[in-house]
Structure 1
Amino acid sequence: WAFSVTGNIEGQWFLAGNNLTSLSEQELVACDGTSDGCNGGFTGGAMDWLVQTQGGWITSEADYPYVSGGGYSPGCQLPKPHVAQIYGHHTVASDENQMAAYLAVNGPLSICVDASTWQHYTGGIMSDCPSWQVDHCVLIVGYNFEHETPFWIVKNSWAPSWGIEGYVHVKFGDNQCAITSSPINAIV
């Protein structure tokens, strides 16, 4: 969830004419009291937390690096220098065609999915993915409608060694993995 939020803000910050800057997932994991740290959180809640408690500001990855990969998060270490600001978030229609149109104009979308079958994904287009329980948040960065089977291009947070260099291709058009459950976009 934290990587989905920072990835979305990074993209929106850059598209607004600012420098591309890696933002701190650790700030969200350790400090966002509306989420459950390493046990999970929600993208909209994290963006709301930034706006309500930090004036929308977030710290850079360089100033507050991620150290919670093993499932343990040390306590919150704020304040740190702020480098990017959001003013809220926009909820995008939960419809794949509308999501694609929005993404084409506005850049990456923060989404949450049912990733229960993702552990052993190594490539190809995921087309038999359950949509029962949303349990993981990721970032839609693009789509390919030219392929025989249209698909979303989704950035995951599990390391570049997972999937297709850290990405998964999810079949477009029938809500694979509950991909339409909660698309949002930061307002910068």
Structure 2
Amino acid sequence: MRGGELFLIATVTFVFPPLRCQNVSLEETLTNFNGSALTEVDFGSFREQFRRIYEVSSEEFYHRHFYFQNAIKRFAYLNSFSAAPPSAKYGINQFSDLSLDEFRDFYLRASADNAPLYSGPKREGLPDKFDWRDKTVVAPVQDQLACGSCWAFSVVGAMQAVQAIAGRPLEQLSVQQVLDCSFQNRGCNGGSTTRALSWLKQTRVKLVPQSEYSYKATTGICHFFSQSHAGVVLKDFAAHDFSGQEEAMMSQLVDWGPLVVTVDAVSWQDYLGGIIQHHCSSQQANHAVLVIGYDTTGDIPYWIVQNSWGTTWGNEGYAYVKIGGNVCGIADSVAVVSL
């Protein structure tokens, strides 16, 4: 897979399987940007809002319109699980004219290595809510674009946060450096967070600022720096499976910093906001994210997850995932870093 313009791909066709929830009314469950019933005109509104350049009556237009119509059916199915806040809501976003296969190929390219079950202590007296953004140690949401680089964004996000927690200025580090140089991974074609962390630990590569090695959304040739060049070195990391132990996972977050996590994000293609509780299995890890906080004060406790799909997705680039039950496999592969 290469980075670049999404809409050069026009030949993939995918028919969404029949909906299992036959009692859902599209008119009742689907709304457009202004809250009224969706119509054919909304595809034009979508194209304008997200700057789609394919021409009307072209083959590309036909395919994108077909995928958009399938997405509308998908929203009805996903929203049928619960209409009451704070449940997750699904609808039109920047991915609504991609087929399911295209979405997976472009954005869900992470893999997870098996992690040992956590057997350490669980800290008592955890706060009811905790958010590393309140400490100003979390960098702004990034956009990986059409490149399967989520694994690199997750790892780099944790390293730059832990550096700031240690008292250094918050600085965005180079995702592109990890993308190009982590030889055990496949660049934009995907990778593993634990393999990237292992590479950083073994080689003691110094991650340089993003300003020195900017993100290109395509795999390039590794740019080496001298030993005297300034940068951030990973000292160590620990990866564990916290399934059934999400309270212990909360203590890891508070004690060590944001968590590098791999999840099943197939249903996240249509996510608009709210707390994800349903239709998100732990069967196949495919996307890496950064867990930066939690909140247990409401009726539904949830993790605060920073994604790498830009601020137009989800809750301004964030997702909320229910704590308990290992929703989306969020507790299966969890890593902390130390510098």
**Structure 2 unmatched ranges of 5 or more:** 1-150
Following superposition, the deviation at residue 83 of structure 1 comes to 2.1
- Given candidates 201, 205, 222, the residue that maps to 1:76 is 222
Aligned residue number for residue 299 of structure 2? 148
Aligned residue number for residue 110 of structure 1? 260
Q: For residue 135 of structure 1, what is the amino acid of its counterpart? A: N
Is the 8 Å Cα contact of residues 93 and 99 (structure 1) preserved in structure 2?
A: no
Aligned residue number for residue 65 of structure 1? 214
Describe the shift of the 1:47–1:82 C-alpha distance in structure 2 as closer, same or farther (beyond 3 A): farther
Aligned residue number for residue 127 of structure 2? none
- 2 CA distance for matches of 1:60 and 1:45? 21
Is the 8 Å Cα contact of residues 56 and 88 (structure 1) preserved in structure 2?
A: no
- Given candidates 236, 241, 258, the residue that maps to 1:88 is 236
Following superposition, the deviation at residue 51 of structure 1 comes to 2.2
Q: How does 1:5-154 map to 2 (within 5 A)?
A: 5-53=155-203, 55-68=204-217, 72-79=218-225, 81-94=229-242, 95-128=245-278, 129-154=280-305
Question: TM-score, length-normalised on structure 2?
Answer: 0.52
Following superposition, the deviation at residue 119 of structure 1 comes to 0.8
Is the 8 Å Cα contact of residues 60 and 82 (structure 1) preserved in structure 2?
A: no
Aligned residue number for residue 3 of structure 1? 153
- 2 CA distance for matches of 1:82 and 1:165? 32
Identity %: 38
Q: For residue 86 of structure 1, what is the amino acid of its counterpart? A: L
Aligned residue number for residue 115 of structure 2? none
- 1 CA distance for matches of 2:230 and 2:213? 10
Question: TM-score, length-normalised on structure 1?
Answer: 0.93
Following superposition, the deviation at residue 56 of structure 1 comes to 4.3
- 2 CA distance for matches of 1:174 and 1:144? 16
Q: Which has the higher strand share?
A: 1
Query: Which of structures 1 and 2 has the larger relative contact order (alpha carbons within 8 angstroms, sep 6+)?
Result: 1
What value does the CA root-mean-square deviation take over the aligned residues? Answer: 1.3
Following superposition, the deviation at residue 93 of structure 1 comes to 4.9
* Structure with greater Cα Rg: 2
**Structure 1 unmatched ranges of 5 or more:** none
Aligned residue number for residue 107 of structure 2? none
